[in-house]
Amino acid sequence: MSLGALCRAMLALCLAVLLSGCATTGKDPRDPWEGYNRQITEFNLVLDENVLEPVAKGYQAVFPGLVRAGVSNFFGNLTDVWSTANNLLQAKPRETTESLFRVSINSTLGLLGVIDVATELNIPRHKEDFGQTLGRWGVPPGPYLVLPVLGPSTLRDTVALPVDWKGDLLNIYDIAVQSPLSVLRVVDKRANYLGAGNFLDAAALDKYTFIREAYLQRRRGSLPRNALVELEERYDLPEPGTPSAPATPSARPQPGAAAP
């Protein structure tokens, strides 16, 4: 079974549990499934501590920084392709053009993205996914939801995941190539955040709440202002920059979680 098929199976199981009503109701209106979410978060943290983090440390120890940078750049270029499509779907002409330039330059001069020439030319990255595209057109995020292995999400972002998987350029490769590349991408991403674990341990009395608030604020900040009205009315969140709005921290990523 490929990594993508495994993730889809876990996602289906997760949604089945929620729809069956087994999840407990939390006090936070954004997080009605807090009981379930806390259990999955604990599972993900244990998985990260015992599997992903040691593998990422080994990867970092074996491969020099230049090689790891090339790997990250390669996967970043694949992500830029899907971001270009989502910027187009969001009717953002400048971001679409810049994303297209990034892909074109890095795929040619950058040797299939291994060298990030576009960043050296000061062409910004506009990372977008289908969950953000739905948010752009007014689809509310819905409740907070933690997915096994994949980590923090919302109901909207979870529904959008199959579209994101379909748009992943790794799908163009044969399964014999796709599977190891998928694993390498997860390990590389985890290695890039090895320093964040100590920050989370030191900063958070309640890791679950810390991760949840970091994720929700980051996703909220990725959407345009006119797409936030429904979210603000539904969840009564403060405006960024007000005294009651906590700063967005760089929380330790959940295993396999993307950053949008």
At 146, give phi and psi (nearest 5°): -105, 125
- Looking at the domain assignment, is residue 41 inside a domain? yes
- Looking at the domain assignment, is residue 250 inside a domain? no
CB within 8 Å of 168: residues ≥ 6 apart: 4, 78, 82
* Separation CA 175–CA 181 (nearest Å): 10
**Residue 245 and residue 239 in contact, taking contact as beta carbons nearer than 8 Å:** yes
**Residue 43 and residue 151 in contact, taking contact as beta carbons nearer than 8 Å:** no
pLDDT of residue 206: 87
Burial class (CB in 10 A: 0-12, 13-18, 19+), 74: buried
- Looking at the domain assignment, is residue 219 inside a domain? yes
Q: Collect the ranges in the chain with pLDDT lower than 50.
A: 1, 3, 20-23, 225-260
- Looking at the domain assignment, is residue 254 inside a domain? no
SS3 144: strand
Range of the domain at 143: 3-235
- Looking at the domain assignment, is residue 245 inside a domain? no
pLDDT of residue 13: 53
pLDDT of residue 239: 40
pLDDT of residue 203: 65
Q: Where do we find the tokens 């995941």?
A: 161
Note the Cα 82 to chain centre separation in Å: 13
**Residue 96 and residue 103 in contact, taking contact as beta carbons nearer than 8 Å:** no
Q: In the chain, how many domains are there? A: 1
CB within 8 Å of 76: residues ≥ 6 apart: 113, 116, 125
Note the Cα 121 to chain centre separation in Å: 26
pLDDT of residue 157: 97
- Encode pLDDT of 93-131 as tens digits: 999 999 999 999 999 999 999 999 999 999 999 999 999
Helices (H), 2-108: 3-19, 34-47, 53-62, 65-89, 93-108
pLDDT of residue 200: 72
pTM given for the model: 0.76
- Looking at the domain assignment, is residue 153 inside a domain? yes
pLDDT of residue 4: 52
